[in-house]
Structure 1
């Protein structure tokens, strides 16, 4: 089972005796084979907003997504996902004051997310988006620069030994999770400013960043 997708394996197609095909049918078959499937599924984007403490039921789903969060208050802002049984699942945010960020959730074997539990003293907005909306690190770009919580999709494929240099100038937690289609790895988990180099697993698709300052990735 994929870490980023819970789709079941496809059933094998039934086979039959070969039949004569026309040249046009051959060309059509070649074109269909050349069409690439999207790297990530495209579920419907879900949008929610409110003020203060709330519990919001959402369309039941267990696929990995990106949550874009914002808060306009001055006190604690927390967002958790809840299962259909009311149990806590993912902590999407736990900050003080105004906040804007994007976080990855459901990227593992978990129960389906059925609701969001929000603690806030101001207005808030939450958008649940498909993984394809992650910001892209271009194939021709050696460096990627960002700030705060973010989800980065690699437009290039790490192979062999790939060294990744990282910096962070914030005072809070700096954590990086990397995701392949089958596994995840905690690359960095430090408090405050950071500068170092880590190895990136072959086939990495996404980097989920937790930060409260500016950060850079260099390959």
Structure 2
């Protein structure tokens, strides 16, 4: 009888330990790889929950509004990851400011779209000198050791917004916030690893 009670007690302890294991590790493992979602028209896409900086690569073919919001666990809009009219291709980040747990993406569209969700470490490689068009997220091989001046250029009609981010993917400094064509020399902070670009035209970053 005592042996049976001991075996039951041991089983109870193991079960409790298993149930007490937090699910956060599973969520972070899922966000370490790319997940691609496809659809057409309005939809809500469930993604592996994450509170770390991440990016969404989006494409869209349609004539009307294409809007994508990252929603937190309560269904509230936490970050705008796409906002365009007509065909679109771009990359935007979320969770670069704050640590809200994102659980889904809300899509407003009248055509076909794709969404690829990745950790920010999968952003496009950046060697300080870089060119692009529209929305993008850039990644240096290693964080900058010291502050350095860089030149920003933009040819477009709408907002041109550039943020520097640290090695964790958190926003550190607003480098530019202009409308229309722009050229300026700004200081890139020490410790910068990433940059986010919001633009509607062509742009470049140079030493």
The TM-score with structure 1 as length reference comes to: 0.76
- Alpha carbons 1:42, 1:132 under 8 Å: kept: no
Alignment equivalent of 1:164, drawn from 150, 162, 170: 150
Alignment equivalent of 1:85, drawn from 58, 74, 83: 74
Matches for 1:115-154 after TM superposition, within 5 Å: 115-138=104-127, 143-154=129-140
Post-superposition offset of 1:130: 2.0
Match of 1:211 in 2: 199
Q: How many residues align?
A: 176
Query: 3-state DSSP class of the match of 2:121?
Result: helix
Moved over 2 A (4+): 155-161
Match of 1:196 in 2: 184
- Alpha carbons 2:64, 2:109 under 8 Å: kept: yes
For 1:100 and 1:134, the matched residues in 2 are separated by: 15
Post-superposition offset of 1:108: 2.8
- Alpha carbons 1:60, 1:114 under 8 Å: kept: yes
For 1:131 and 1:82, the matched residues in 2 are separated by: 18
Higher helix content, 1 or 2: 2
* Structure 1: segments with no counterpart, 5+ residues: 1-40
Query: 3-state DSSP class of the match of 1:92?
Result: strand
Alignment equivalent of 2:42, drawn from 41, 53, 59: 53
Match of 1:24 in 2: none
* Structure 2: segments with no counterpart, 5+ residues: 1-29
For 2:85 and 2:39, the matched residues in 1 are separated by: 18
Alignment equivalent of 1:70, drawn from 59, 83, 87: 59
Root mean square deviation of aligned Cα: 1.7
- Alpha carbons 1:161, 1:202 under 8 Å: kept: yes
For 2:85 and 2:75, the matched residues in 1 are separated by: 25
The TM-score with structure 2 as length reference comes to: 0.80
Higher strand content, 1 or 2: 2
Post-superposition offset of 1:99: 0.2
Match of 1:107 in 2: 96
